[in-house]
Chain A
């Protein structure tokens, strides 16, 4: 019994190894692994509606989710969502825990050091907001004030003066002497004000996140024009398994979604009729 079971186990293991290594595109490319498994593991942070949000049954919906589903469809696989913090995604070094990020990651010079990006699939305006309690209505009014941002976001880098955008227009100037305070996710800023905290006056986030928060009665007003537009792209891990084949496929799919109008349609569906797939 024992030896038989052991050899059966060994044989199954071998079979898994052999079928797992079955080359379809280029051998050893992440693309062939994904297609062999029939599953692409996509990182998403469901704290960012309307890009990605959780439903009470534990599934996800949003703009990013629809884009991820289309990518999977094109690759002939299904999606498994992994939910690390946003700061873990942009840090790179995913250790193979997920394959790609369709998580509205802004392309920056620094991130290009650890992540490989597709061309942008859409652009979001970075919008400054002020708490209604502060009475501030202009960007300059935030000089010397404290501004809340999500950790490791482009909003934090802009305030710190280290933001180097790639493929986006030049950002506006930072309000004189502005201080910053951070939470692990953007929406916690709105949450802090909703819970009666008063540690900061400003909040810098994407215009879509801000609009969603205001729609949920967050006590903020939008202040001034967008301070910058950021190009958002699908990302893969530079330090991960070889993925030139997957990268080429992702680039092709994003280009196709731009040209067949499906990205515009999704943008208008999720962002109140706004077409964010081009910079105006």
Chain B
């Protein structure tokens, strides 16, 4: 017994050391894999002899400056999408035919057409109906992206609302809470926690899809890359810079999302 007390910690220590060593080895190999792939990609592009360091030095700050517009457009669009999704989800769970019909039409129309077509219609076609529908490029882009994502998020919100256990509503009703208040105070806060990770995911894909609004002249990352690179035939460098900017943005926001999710999950513990 005394012997066992003395030897078991030594054995544990040995196991822990071995595990720590294996973890370090895993991390080292993981980092090595990334470095090798990045180096191989760089070598492949450098082998074209078209990577011009002067162009990169001169234009990278301007292209990077488009990140502000990209984030601005994405934030405004996701805000609009969230509002539309909430209203849409209420329509989709409604037992009344008109709200249900409107919400279903919206979801079907948007999910059944390409985002690029929606951007073109909002920017080029709507102004022909009425001059009141003339939108500047950024507003048009935000409207198109928000309208599109709102439909996808409608289904997420609907699922989120329906995922709140029925017992919660029943208990609130038993306490005599009015239906509106039950939704606002009991169902919605829990539904928001359920859908937050999904909104975060959508925001990250929004950052990438926002590149499509370069087609209507919004001077975000891709527009800047195209117009910086094309006249001097440096599109290789320009598009690589643009790709890196988007990649950097998604990494940053994935990190932010992870933190946010942990925060929101605190109540579940």
Contact = CB atoms under 8 A, between A and B. Distances in A.
- Report whether chain A binds chain B: yes
Contacts of B128: 93, 95
Contacts of A195: 235-236
Interface residues of A, number: 30
A53 interface: yes
A96 interface: yes
B233 to A, nearest CB: 5
A256 interface: no
A88 B136 CA distance: 14
A213 B235 CA distance: 13
Interface residues of B, number: 28
Contacts of B226: 47
B144 to A, nearest CB: 15
B231 A58 contact: no
A48 B223 CA distance: 15
Contacts of B127: 93, 95
A216 B50 CA distance: 12
A56 B231 contact: no
Interface in A58-96: 58, 82-85, 88, 93, 95-96
Interface in A189-219: 190-191, 194-195, 212-213, 216-218
B50 A96 contact: no
Nearest to A62: B231
A195 B232 CA distance: 13
A154 B134 CA distance: 28
B230 A194 contact: no
Contacts of A88: 124, 217
Interface in B69-125: 124
Interface of A: 46-49, 53-54, 56-58, 82-85, 88, 93, 95-97, 185, 187-188, 190-191, 194-195, 212-213, 216-218
Given A47-B226, A47-B227, A194-B233, 8 more contacts: A54-B62, A54-B231, A82-B217, A83-B227, A85-B217, A187-B230, A194-B235, A216-B231
Interface of B: 50, 58-59, 61-62, 65, 124, 127-128, 131, 134, 136-137, 215-217, 219, 223, 226-233, 235-236
Q: Which 8 A-B pairs have the closest CB atoms?
A: A95-B127, A95-B134, A49-B231, A56-B62, A194-B233, A187-B230, A216-B233, A83-B217
